Amino acid sequence: MTRAIVRPSGLDLDSPGRRDYWVALEHDSTWGDHLLPLTVIVGDQVEAGRGLVAFGANHGNEYEGPVAIKHLLHEINSADVCGRLILVPVLNPAAFGSGTRESTADDGVNLNRAFVEGAGLTPALKGITHRIAAFVREYIWPRVHVVQDIHAGGRGHRFALCTSFHHVEDPEQRRIIEATARWFGTPFVMIYQDDTPGLLPSEAERLGKITVGTELGWGETVNPEGVRYACHGIRAAAIHHGQLRGAIEPIGHHADGTQKLVAMVDRNCFTPAPFSGHYEPRMNCGTFVRRGDTVGLLHDFQRVDEQPWPVRAGIDGYVLCQAARAPVAQGLHILVVAQEVD
């Protein structure tokens, strides 16, 4: 497999066939380029404005997405593609290269907060991370109607494996997004708050795209179940949305009927650390709890003789997320409990 190094303007995302690229985006501080791997496969029934894109490494220390999409690069037969598939195992090479959530070695920006007005266009927002957002806006959004943004908990948070999306006003878009999210097979399908500015999935949803995010691992490792769910979910979305020929069967919790739709929108779902300390979990992610249950303990070793602070559930529901590391900063959401949705 030979990858051509091209500037964004040199991409061909429309002609029939398969092309493998390194997309070159100018480095901010050295004489060189950030190289973003992108593969496009265009079939004989492609339609303008329609296709599927799968992104890995929106955050640079979340590895299930890059691994799963890399597998799909080798597994998908171009002859089976009838529409358009755009596969991007590493969307954020600046952060991926440093193994950090943000582009720490470059502009220090979190790509999943960079989809803001003027990104990549105004002088204050011209660093590499905002220019990646501008690249997605100019070259990817006009060619796809399905977006798969594969995340994990990285260094900071441990999740019950889940797919995710926001509340959207259009009931038909919401129905299709939920159905697409269920096909990954994860134990949970999560509806989450949409107050955070600059999210890639939020922008895609506002544009009317069938958008699914995930949390498929934690601890800067590669979770084998997370990779399996990602591969299956991306392939299922490509088939069900008319971009890939073939049939596919449900797996995991989707197949056995145990999948749960949950929401973490109510602010009572979130428990922030009132002081910096060390978190001791007492329950596993995925456990059902009642409001007031002690899920973990927060220790202050500068006050070693005091009892630890009980980390209590603020609402009835499932422990969806906890701090993955013992040391936690004041204000970090060390516990998230999600409510089941009828």
Tens digits of residue pLDDT in 289-309: 999 999 999 999 999 999 999
259 and 307 inside one domain = no
Tokens 């799968």 belong to residue: 54
As for how many domains the chain has, the answer is 2
In this predicted structure, what is the pLDDT of residue 342? 81
Q: Give the end of a domain, one of 264, 281, 310.
A: 264
- Chain-wide mean pLDDT for the chain? 97
Sequence length of the chain is: 342
CA dist., res. 162 & res. 127, Å (int): 32
95 and 174 inside one domain = yes
85 and 194 inside one domain = yes
214 and 312 inside one domain = no
**Residue-wise pLDDT tens digits, 66-116:** 999 999 999 999 999 999 999 999 999 999 999 999 999 999 999 999 999
190 and 272 inside one domain = no
20 and 70 inside one domain = yes
162 and 292 inside one domain = no
CA dist., res. 215 & res. 3, Å (int): 30
CA dist., res. 241 & res. 146, Å (int): 8
**Residue-wise pLDDT tens digits, 212-236:** 999 999 999 999 999 999 999 999 9
Neighbouring CB atoms inside 10 A of 107's CB total: 18
In this predicted structure, what is the pLDDT of residue 324? 96
249 and 300 inside one domain = no
Is the pLDDT at 1 greater than 70? The verdict is no
Prediction pTM value:
0.96
| Single-letter residue type at 256 | D
Domain coverage including residue 163 = 4-264
**Residue-wise pLDDT tens digits, 241-251:** 999 999 999 99
Q: Give the end of a domain, one of 210, 231, 264.
A: 264
184 and 284 inside one domain = no
In this predicted structure, what is the pLDDT of residue 29? 81
